């Protein structure tokens, strides 16, 4: 396996802990613990966004954001037979959900369940050809109907059960989107000392259901510059032409030029490039045809703000086997830390 410098155990804790949109409590506790050790002050707003601030020597401020929430589900019904039906929180491809293990987070504790998948040789041709939808799936929790209804309630949260492991030169698991970038922000915060500008390290909520946390936070913080971190598509796998890869694993951190929600400020992404080259950080450009990130939340609030974004190339997004290359993670942390260390507040990002 390729060598890396980051804290794998912290990344493992972040990715394996549950936290769906609007219910990021367990992740928030970890983020607060880490930020309190490395920033001057930590605050949480009414939505649940967490901000750790390192005070600079000028009035200029930079916000750096990554989201805490992972895609998941909410219980919408428990059938008379004791099976649990779901409503999606975020964008799922239902084809990959069958025969997966889940955790249902009830008020009295976590309950293990499996998303049912009948044996293929028992299905009719019509059943085999039917397109799967989340609303048609059911979770078997191994309890009789009466006990199931006493145990699980409408509104309980559901997440996929998965461990995060090293796989060759990659890290694979659930919720790398966006915990691996949240982790990168926490690691960068450890390196930033006595900055010229004030830096707000922001862990946002509800990104997977519409960039809601970042949109509100952009108003509250009103930074002079915002940099968002998120994973991005890496379709460098069989079945895709090179022009459709978007990014490639092992080719460095990705400097975003555009996605479906934002066109980053050219002066910001060029400075990210210049810092990467001066620091010897491997990078690639990202042109993402669809999808959005917290970058747009900051661009749409409290007037015109220069925004940029750094992405970690990730295969198999929105599955339980999301995979990233360890050297790309290191490169992302290195670039973010170097960018913040060299930000003086005197760069002109006006177009």
Q: pLDDT (tens digit, 9 = 90+) per residue, 226-237? A: 999 999 999 999
> What is the spatial distance between Cα 9 and Cα 320, in angstroms, rounded to a whole number?
18
269 labeled binding residue: no
Q: What is the pLDDT of residue 8?
A: 97
Domains of the chain: 8-70+174-341 (3.40.630.10), 73-160 (2.40.30.40)
318 labeled binding residue: yes
67 labeled binding residue: yes
Q: What is the pLDDT of residue 198?
A: 98
Residue 305 in contact with residue 264, Cβ under 8 Å?
no
Helix (H) or strand (E) holding 77: strand 72-78
177 labeled binding residue: yes
Q: What is the pLDDT of residue 220?
A: 82
Count other C-beta atoms under 10 Å from residue 33's C-beta: 11
Q: What is the residue-wise DSSP string for 298-328?
A: HHTSSS---EEEEEEEEBSTTSTTEEEEHHH
Q: Per-residue pLDDT tens for 130-157? A: 788 999 999 999 999 999 999 999 999 9
> pLDDT under 50 in the chain at which residues?
none
From 207, 248, 286, 322, the catalytic residue: 207
Residue 185 in contact with residue 66, Cβ under 8 Å?
yes
Question: Is 277 noted as a catalytic residue in this protein?
Answer: no
Sign of CA dihedral 24, 30, 33, 37: negative
224 labeled binding residue: no
Question: Which residue is it, tokens 């209804």?
Answer: 149
Q: What is the pLDDT of residue 300?
A: 67
Question: Which residue is it, tokens 């002109």?
Answer: 348
> What is the spatial distance between Cα 223 and Cα 301, in angstroms, rounded to a whole number?
10
Helix (H) or strand (E) holding 279: helix 266-279
């Amino acid at each position: 396996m390729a060598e890396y410098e980051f804290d794998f155990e912290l990344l493992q804790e972040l990715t394996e802990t549950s936290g769906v949109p609007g219910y990021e409590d367990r992740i928030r506790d970890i983020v607060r613990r880490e930020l309190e050790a490395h920033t001057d002050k930590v605050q949480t707003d009414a939505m649940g966004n967490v901000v750790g601030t390192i005070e600079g020597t000028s009035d200029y401020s930079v916000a750096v954001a990554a989201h805490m929430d992972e895609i998941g589900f909410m219980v919408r019904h428990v059938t008379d037979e004791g099976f649990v039906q779901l409503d999606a929180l975020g964008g799922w491809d239902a084809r990959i959900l069958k025969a997966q293990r889940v955790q249902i987070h009830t008020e009295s504790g976590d309950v293990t369940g499996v998303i049912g998948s009948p044996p293929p040789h028992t299905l009719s041709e019509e059943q085999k050809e039917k397109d799967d939808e989340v609303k048609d799936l059911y979770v078997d929790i191994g309890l009789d109907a009466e006990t199931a209804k006493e145990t699980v309630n409408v509104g309980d949260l559901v997440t996929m059960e998965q461990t995060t492991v090293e796989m060759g030169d990659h890290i694979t698991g659930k919720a790398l989107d966006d915990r691996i970038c949240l982790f990168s922000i926490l690691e960068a915060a450890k390196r930033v000392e006595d900055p010229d500008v004030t830096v707000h390290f922001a862990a946002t909520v509800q990104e997977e259901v519409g960039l809601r946390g970042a949109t509100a936070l952009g108003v509250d913080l009103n930074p002079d510059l915002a940099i968002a971190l998120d994973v991005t598509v890496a379709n460098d796998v069989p079945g895709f032409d090179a022009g459709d890869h978007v990014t490639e694993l092992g080719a460095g951190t990705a400097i975003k030029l555009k996605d479906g929600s934002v066109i980053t400020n050219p002066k910001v992404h060029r400075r990210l490039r210049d810092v990467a080259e001066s620091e010897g950080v491997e990078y690639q450009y990202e042109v993402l045809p669809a999808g959005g990130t917290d970058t747009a939340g900051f661009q749409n609030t409290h007037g015109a703000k220069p925004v940029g974004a750094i992405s970690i190339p990730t295969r198999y997004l929105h599955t339980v086997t999301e995979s990233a290359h360890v050297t790309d993670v290191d490169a992302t942390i290195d670039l973010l830390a170097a960018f913040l260390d060299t930000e003086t507040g005197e760069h002109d990002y006006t177009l």
